[in-house]
Amino acid sequence: MDFNKLYINGQWQDGDSGRTIAVENPWTLETLAEVPRGNGTDVDRAVAAAKAAFPAWSAKTPQERADIIAAGLEKFKAYRDTLIDLEIDELGQPRAWTTKMHVDRNFNRIESFLTIARTYRTEETLDHGIVVREPIGVVALLTPWNYPLGQVVQKVTPALLAGNTAVLKPSQTTPLSAYYMVQAFADAGLPAGVLNLVTGAGGEVGDALTSHPDVRLVSFTGSTASGRQVGRDSLSTIKKIALELGGKSPLVVLPGADYADAVKIVAGSCFANSGQTCIAYTRLVVPEADKDKALAALKEEAKNWRAGDPRDPESTLGPIVNAKQYAKVCDHIAIALADGGQMVIGQVPDKKAEKRLVQPIVFTDLPAQAKAVREEIFGPVLVVQTYRDLEEAVKIANDTPYGLAAGVVGPEEAAVAVARRLDAGQVTVNFGARDIFAPFGGYKESGLGREGGVMGYEEYLEVKALFY
């Protein structure tokens, strides 16, 4: 694959600036590839191509579009082994996790959207007319680095199936796997201009897309701070916006819960992917009387988690993705200690270390307003909070500017009752498995709109009332 190209109007071509951005392997620190540093001229060309392709693509039936995307999926699956190795090198997470969560799961996501597209009713009959759902037009898709392929799939697939044309800007940190999806769809016969790929910096390519007058929708996943800026820029031309932003998710443990279960759930969420997951449970909320029991269980569970070389079978975590993020995690840990937090598990990472490894860390005794309690760290750092009764448990869980996810562990009837009171877009009870057809998104500062399932598909449709 020639990564030193943009994909515009059905062709791999050079970027306008001639400049590139190096993509670093977070473990070896070697340069994996260089991608074009796109600019406003590249965006103008890509948007123009998408705009020109929209009439014909949107005129196809949902079945016709689905047939092309399904053919693309089969070609995409042929890259499976390549994608696994590439994601290990690009993001730096271990093989088992990468295979399951960063590659195979995304084939299933595409299949779920194909099912929706083939069965979705675009017209609803009223007494005096119909409601029609139709494609929006050119959409800009801005994706993050922490789930490089997952977020591309979550946006590109429903956008195209719904009849839109798109310009994709993947994260400059982990852009490489998107090239294979674009190539697979092109090889399957996706018409020129329907999907365009422009790599580059958010402050250049992202800004050009969010302010472009011919872009009708912007879908962005990233930090809440960046989401605010994307929202402001997009609303300058009154675009539709979909924002999937940050989280500080609680796992509430009820009296009578099995702590062996509770710590497996919280560790699998908070520590996996080196903590670089927006919906991770980063707060464990336990009864005050059970604090010692919870910490003992966590200390035992932490033995199963080890940060190291992502190609070492003994590693369950890899390095933090880049130097900027590593410094941020180190700074949060230092601030948590200064705020009075007790580090009961883990050790302070060396901010100057060559290998950006953070072993799982657990804090207790932090005040409610401490940064580690309220801000997204994006590292394997867990905060334990305690409560005296269920009312306080719910209050603590909801005491956050975010509302992306939450969990409850305990006797099922009581756990479901608490789950219904939590301000979060998705709440899991015990070992409940997340449904791939469920909508994904958050309350409060965790975003606007939904991804996944029917609601994620509908984000890419306009609604028209037609009376006759």
Q: What is the DSSP letter of 222?
A: S
Categorise residue 200: left if φ over 0, alpha if ψ from -120 to 50, beta otherwise: left
The enclosing H or E element of 126 equals: strand 123-126
Task: Find the radius of gyration of the CA atoms of the chain.
Answer: 22
Query: How remote is the C-alpha of 173 from its chain's centroid?
Result: 14
Distance CA 454, CA 433 (A): 18
Cβ proximity of 164 and 194 under 8 Å? no
State both tokens at 419. 């789950």
Distance CA 147, CA 55 (A): 32
Give the helix ranges, DSSP H, for 188-322.
207-210, 224-234, 259-270, 291-302
Cβ proximity of 124 and 69 under 8 Å? no
Q: What is the DSSP letter of 401?
A: S
**String of DSSP letters for 182-214:** HHHHHHTTPPTTSEEE--S-IIIIIHHHHT-TT
State both tokens at 110. 């595409």
Cβ-proximal residues to 231 (8 Å cutoff; 6+ apart), any chain:
241, 243, 448
C-alpha separations of 376 from 223, 245, 384, 394, 445 in Å: 9, 10, 15, 20, 12
Give the helix ranges, DSSP H, for 120-162.
148-161
- Burial environment of residue 184 by CB neighbours within 10 A (0 to 12, 13 to 18, 19 or more): buried
Give the helix ranges, DSSP H, for 310-380.
323-338, 371-374
Distance CA 380, CA 377 (A): 8
Active site residue 314: no
Distance CA 70, CA 447 (A): 30
Distance CA 419, CA 399 (A): 15
At residue 61's C-alpha, the angle toward residues 80 and 148, to 5°, is 30
Catalytic residue among 244, 376, 445, 459: 244
Distance CA 349, CA 314 (A): 20
Active site members: 244
